[in-house]
Amino acid sequence: MNLIKIIFIIIISFYINLNVYAEPVHKNDYDVVGQVTTPTGVIFNPSGTKMYVTGFNVNSGRVAQYSLSVPYSTSSGVSLDANTITEIAAVLKRPQDIKFNSDGSKVLVLSTQSKVGNKDSIAIWSLGTPYDITTISSTKDSEHFLKIDNDPRGFDFNTDGTKMFILKSTTDQIEQYDLTTPFDPSDITLKATLSNPKGDGFHQGLGFSSDGYKMFVIKADRNTDDPDLNIIEEYNLTTPFEITTASKNEKTYNTQTASAGNERIAGITFNFSQGANKFYHLDFDDKKLVREYDLPCAYGIISCMNPTSDGDDVGSIESQSDATKKLIQHTSYPVLNRMEWLRRNKDGVNLTNQNLKLQFSNEILASLSKLFLPTGLTNNDYTSNQTGSKNWSFWSEGTISVGKVGDSLSSSAKNINTSAITIGADKKIDEDRIHGFALRFGNDDIKVGKFGSALDMNSLSLTVYETRPTGDNIFMDVLVGASVIKTDLINNSGSVSTDGKRSGQQVFSSIKFRETFTKEKINFTPNIKLDLGLTTLSDYIEKGAAGLNLRFGRQNIGTIVTSLGSTIDNTININNGVLKPNIKLEYNADISPSSIQVFEYASNGTTYVIDNINNSTHNFNGSFGFDLITDNGLLITSNYERNQNKGGGHTDAFYFSGNLSYRQDETYTLSFDGIQDFNTKLDYKRSVNGFNVTFSSNYKLMSQTPDYGANIEVSSKF
């Protein structure tokens, strides 16, 4: 097995090495010399239909706005909207960069020289129409003055405008500020400083990827016309928009091409809304150009974004694997609990909610009910005194589970919420053997990281089970089952959001041996259990971020979990019934083989592998609960369960079921409606002095938002 794994990894690594990184391809040049003789900054509106170039003519500030007939394309259909000389030139001498606030209602311009005291500043104007410079206010909103002699040449913000970054050429530093008000530099706090060696060039542009994991710095030559000095540097950040976590890529990108001649470069931006598979910079000294490039992948000037370094990406992949493995346990537990309960109640009294009928208006569930439910499972087919092989007992159990797994060096934290309902039917074959089946409808809602990444997994599981003796007081519980899985995935990183849908199939089995030692009314039952499973998740492609979309290959997930534990239960006589408390302790060892997820950028096929997704853990499981059985036929079973991982993280689960023996003047109806939300409805009807009293309640089991109701109806026939 290990040899096969090694060979597979070698093959994958060889394949990755074959994916030689492709450099940017120069696409087009657009001449702006008629509007701005020294262009310094460039940006687009979110849709890519407007382009803005800022700079100056001598000491007069300029912002030129262009309309593009093809979004983000400078090749054709480019026309000048306006050149805002009057407003900008009246305030700023040498604009260096331009940005907008989040809704485009304000434009911010960075300048090395303001006409107020010749100071470096950021000036802000309101726009009558978002992202339309032609509607600029005749007076500036405000102007924030920076420290003298720092010579700022570029600036940027994080997604929500609460952080600002300034590139200062004189001190060769990048400064990070916290802003009290988003996109308002009037009240800022310096949080970090990153030094950038000057060399023979000077800094002339700053930009971030939309998710904040990459930062780019433009360096231009000063006076030597040395083409080797016009380069773009790349920094990788382990925490988005935190320059203290930045590490510089050893490689740089030289913009020199045969068509460019000796150029001095400035400014940098991307086609953000199209997935950042293009980038743009300026030639500010020679040909006065906006230069457009195609990229092999998102932000791939020097290297592609590495999703394996994104904690949310890794966390999402781990969550999918872990959720499918937990599904086996969550499906097995109610069935195993049912068999334990049957052994605790050997007298066979109240094994079923005899007046509980199933109504399946959902087409899928209706088909399953016809296929699997035993013929004649109705109110009139069962009496509490019958114990023959033809008698079926019906049971149900609801589950609510919440948990949290902390972050690691490679993966973000996860918040886990699970809800499910299990319904089953079983019958006695003889005095000691019982077999049956169960259907489980479950939902796992997992939140990953801090930016809204999540997965929503719906599952439908069918389990067949049997419990039988293998010796004196020794029993074997066996179950086999299959599940179908549908998962909706959302991955958010900064302003980039993708979604995807993934299906899966699962087969599983569990075998449990237990021996009961009894003293008076106390039972001590040690046990050993083995869970096995194989899950196959389909391949899928993310949508929503163009060049950032990832294509995931098919994934196989094996599950091997061994458990050693014991249960103690007691029987306590109470007024009008019996109380049976129980305590269970269990040690679980996950020895599953590692799962491998291969994925790539859909835009260029650059391949990545996460090959250690085994989530192998050693954990402890403890639970306590009770069975309450009353003389009038009421049965309540409840358990609280805590699963504590040895390395950190835990889940808490609550199981509950209730049954009431059959009475001719009362009926109960449990129904499931809908395709997606599985609307669960419970009706209670009782005849009182010739009147029919009906109480109804409903709850959407799979809904993301609470949706429930109740009503009472009284009727009679005259």
Q: pLDDT tens for residues 367-408?
A: 444 444 443 333 333 333 333 445 778 787 777 777 777 766
Asked whether residue 637 carries a pLDDT value surpassing 90, the answer given is: no
Q: What percentage of the chain's residues is helix, strand, coil (to nearest 5)? A: 10, 55, 30
State the chain's mean pLDDT as an integer.
80
Q: Which residue has the higher pLDDT, 410 or 269?
A: 269
Secondary structure E strands in 451-554? 453-471, 474-493, 496-515, 517-519, 522-537, 540-541, 550-552
Region of poorest pLDDT, from 79-83, 221-225, 435-439, 615-619:
221-225
pLDDT at 345: 67
Q: How many CB atoms lie within 10 A of CB 384?
A: 15
What pLDDT score does 549 carry? 81
Q: Which of 75-79, 206-210, 238-242, 698-702 has the lowest mean pLDDT?
A: 698-702
* Whole-number Cα distances in Å, 228 to 350, 455, 674: 86, 47, 65
Do 508 and 483 contact (CB within 8 A), yes or no?
yes
**Region class of 33: left (phi > 0), else alpha (psi between -120 and 50), else beta:** alpha
Strands 289-294 and 550-552: what pairing? Answer: unpaired
CA distance 154 to 97: 5
Residues 272, 277, 283, 289, CA torsion sign = negative
Rounded distance, CA 298 to CA 305, Å?
7
pLDDT at 697 over 80: no
* Burial class of residue 126 (count of CB atoms within 10 Å of its CB; 0-12, 13-18, 19+): middle
| Terminal Cα-to-Cα distance of the chain (whole angstroms) | 77
Average pLDDT over residues 138-163: 86
pTM of the full predicted structure?
0.63
pLDDT digits (tens, 9 = 90+) for 496-531: 678 999 999 999 999 999 888 888 888 898 999 999
Q: What is the DSSP letter of 325?
A: H
CB burial class (10 A; 0-12, 13-18, 19+) of residue 124? buried
Of the candidates 339, 563, 325, the one whose C-alpha atom is nearest the C-alpha of residue 437 is 339
Q: What is the pLDDT of residue 371?
A: 46
10-24, 168-182, 461-475, 534-548, range with the lowest pLDDT:
10-24
Question: Which pLDDT score, from 0 to 100, does residue 8 have?
Answer: 42
Find out whether 559 and 535 touch, Cβ atoms under 8 Å: yes
Which pLDDT does position 627 carry in this prediction?
Answer: 83
pLDDT of residue 387: 39
